[in-house]
Amino acid sequence: MAVKIAVVGTGGIARRHGEALVENENAEIVGAVDVDSSRAEAFAGKYGGKAYSALGDCPNEVDAVYVLTPPSFRRQYALEAIEAGKHVFCEKPLAI
């Protein structure tokens, strides 16, 4: 059974994570979250899942959240995921 993942922040470094996750048979991208809906849709179209404009809109079945946003937004998304009982992977430190 694959770990179901939501990726928050689908610009820049997200491409590398998307490439790695689709190669991992134990992972499945089920959500792409970005304030830029076209960027989220492009990411979802390439790596899988469905595009969302807010983390709270992702299905409850998500097991883990990859936070790949700029530093000023990481904390809010990490806390939202933690409060929802999800595992959190953060690209870089939670703050600068």
Please list the helix, strand and coil fractions of the chain in percent, rounded to the nearest 5, in that order: 40, 25, 35
**pLDDT at 49 > cutoff 90:** yes
**pLDDT at 31 > cutoff 70:** yes
Residue 1 makes CB contacts below 8 A (sequence gap 6+) with: none
**pLDDT at 94 > cutoff 80:** no
pTM of this structure: 0.93
Query: Which whole number is the average pLDDT over 55-82?
Result: 93
Q: Do residues 27 and 2 touch, judged by C-beta distance below 8 A?
A: yes
CA nearest neighbour of 20 among 73, 89, 95: 89
User: What is the C-alpha separation between 56 and 60, in angstroms, rounded?
Assistant: 9
Q: Do residues 8 and 69 touch, judged by C-beta distance below 8 A?
A: yes
**pLDDT at 85 > cutoff 90:** yes
